[in-house]
Structure 1
């Protein structure tokens, strides 16, 4: 499918704010999106990510700030004049129109010549691999097929920006994986600038060039998938990105970014992510897969296994220390409830934050 040269080099959100009844659902969002980039807005329910998308689309007016395509201001334009494609969570297909007619609808509204509508619709149908289903109604399709129709309808108009609002959340696990691959394939082949809303960390990490993590309407961190996965900026991002173990401790020694702490008489060494001083109360964060279980006689935190969940190649383990502190582990070791183990972690994987950031 041929896509015309995009209409902008940079899409700029400058202090974008949206208030409802005096409450800021989105506060001072400032972000530059480069042409061809895939941006994921990530965060828990109520963090402001869908509000940000609707502000971009023009479905919500701004309470403050502005949106620019290069030197062209967008937030003063109605949605239909922004030239964006949008994929909704609930597909939003016309139930009485066939797959082909749903995809062609946007082109027809633009009053393009019939031959052009037919050619571009055919290309879009092939692009999402729905040739055998082109004459069917949406109700005759699976959820994954309906989402492909919605994506084709969004991209067939050759938009300068595609907005996707949790498009995979209604699909089962297998279809989510398949559609995730399809979305990435389409983005790479067409080079469309995309803003994608999700609460699923794995989905965001696998799709996006950059992630924007939001909490209570405010940006917590912007970075590449690797940056957010390995170096969360604060405990809120760490918790959301899978650092399930957040330990409230006290820094005893600090040398550079190396921090020594103790827990139940066991010395722990971690890596400071922000400024930490001796005597400070800190939060030490570590992923379940970076906690290593060992035999009871080995050095480490002494724990007893409470719960073991089989998850294929690994076990998800919940254990408790002698003082009742709960720890989460992921391991290939064969453990069972009531097993006595010790737990250790490498300093590089134990990230330390000032407790005041929590």
Structure 2
């Protein structure tokens, strides 16, 4: 390997190329409840997949099932024609980056990165070469001799990533790896992880509860709720076309209002009459919920409101306003607002989504 070549060979596991990783009806039950139910997902080689959802939705359970840290209650996992769920974790050829880094505190950066290769009894020259390359890839050459306790949080996370990719894994699993970092470091590491993913041709499954993180990094998102998939799609699809009100709420549609369908795409409730786009089948008289993002509620001629809480957010303010009928709306604007101001707002009908209320929503 010459200088500048990547430490990992994309799409290899034990030297064998692969095309797809398939999760079929993957279920994990604890007692009488399903922490994860009937997960069907096909991951193409080279993809960056984000498992997204609130705490307790099943995303970490899915990752641990994939890693081999939890046995399946039902279903199977395949890499092309090879079944993986019957194999122990160490034989699946995956790399894992944990939330708490899980570094050996008594080993240097170099020692931590080289550890897995040494356990595989690789030749000494190969261990040294691949370890040096992995450390270079995460830009820690000057810190190679330091202990983890001498590093910043971001540097420790880089060590954890280097330790995963140096093994040339067929898949890299990341379990909320940035949750312990401050805001600026999170932004830097998001870019760094995406850079490594692209430059090494990695296949990555990334668990997060941060929708902005998922949108900015992934090729596809898998949104989970109560152990079940709610939607699988590209960041743009999930962001602009949420499949149901639960996905909408998680993806930033902060205004979710109970109303009743009148005719076509017209809804009424609490003194408001609005027009939007139905997502699913909606009939006249149905109970529905409408959803719209704060940035799609505009100041201007329309619904009279009173300004309540105002939060300064740099170039914009986030404001909570109230209609005469008591409906609370959230908006974002570059105009100056103060609590108690009287104003009017208009809801963009092209951005307002109408969701039917289905039995499991009750």
TM-score band w.r.t. shorter chain: over 0.9
- Output the CA distance in 1 between the equivalents of 2:182 and 2:10: 36
1:267 to partner: Cα distance: 3.2
Q: Is the 8 A contact 2:307 2:340 kept in 1?
A: yes
Match of 2:232 in 1: 222
The residue that corresponds to 2:8 in the other structure is 3
SS at match of 1:171: coil
State the TM-score, normalized to the length of structure 2: 0.95
Deviation of 1:262 after TM superposition, in Å, equals: 3.0
Which residue of the partner structure matches residue 3 of structure 2? none
Secondary structure, counterpart of 1:336 in structure 2:
coil
Partner Cα separation in structure 2 for residue 5 and residue 208 of structure 1:
18
SS of the residue 1:251 aligns to: strand
The answer on 1:261 being equivalent to 2:267 is: yes
1:29-178 correspondence runs (5 A): 29-178=39-188
Compute the displacement of 1:263 (Å): 4.2
Deviation at 1:266, TM superposition (A): 4.2
Residues in 2 aligned to 1:130 and 1:336: alpha-carbon distance in whole angstroms: 48
Secondary structure of 1:40 counterpart: strand
Q: Report the CA distance between 1:167 and its aligned residue.
A: 0.1
1:182-236 alpha-carbon deviations (Å, 9 max, x no partner): 0010011011000000000000000000000000000000000000100100000
User: Map of 1:235-254 to 2, 5 A cutoff?
Assistant: 235-254=245-264
Contact kept? 1:89, 1:165, Cα under 8 Å: yes
CA displacement 1:157-194 (0-9 Å, x = unmatched): 10000000000000000000000000010011011000
CA contact (8 A) 2:258 2:269 kept: no
In the alignment, is residue 180 of structure 1 matched against residue 190 of structure 2?
Answer: yes
Contact 2:211 2:251 in 1 (8 A): yes
Partner of 2:299: 293
TM-score, normalization by structure 1: 0.96
* CA distance in 2 between partners of 1:114 and 1:266 (Å): 73
Question: In structure 2, how many angstroms separate the alpha carbons of the residues matched to 1:74 and 1:266?
Answer: 54
CA deviation after TM superposition for structure 1 residue 265, in Å: 4.2
Deviations along 1:53-111, whole A, 9 cap, x unmatched?
00000000000000000000000000000010000000000000000110011111111
Distance in 2 between residues matched to 1:217 and 1:351, nearest whole Å: 25
Q: Which residue of 1 aligns with 2:215?
A: 205
**Number of the residue aligned with 1:333:** 335
Residue 134 of structure 2 contacts residue 162 of structure 2 at CA under 8 Å; is this kept in 1?
yes
Counterpart CA distance in 1 for 2:59 and 2:158 is: 23
CA deviation vs aligned residue, 1:273-329 (integer Å, no higher than 9, x gap): 1111122111110001110022xxx3x221111100001111110111112211111
Give 5+ residue unaligned stretches, structure 2. 1-5, 12-16
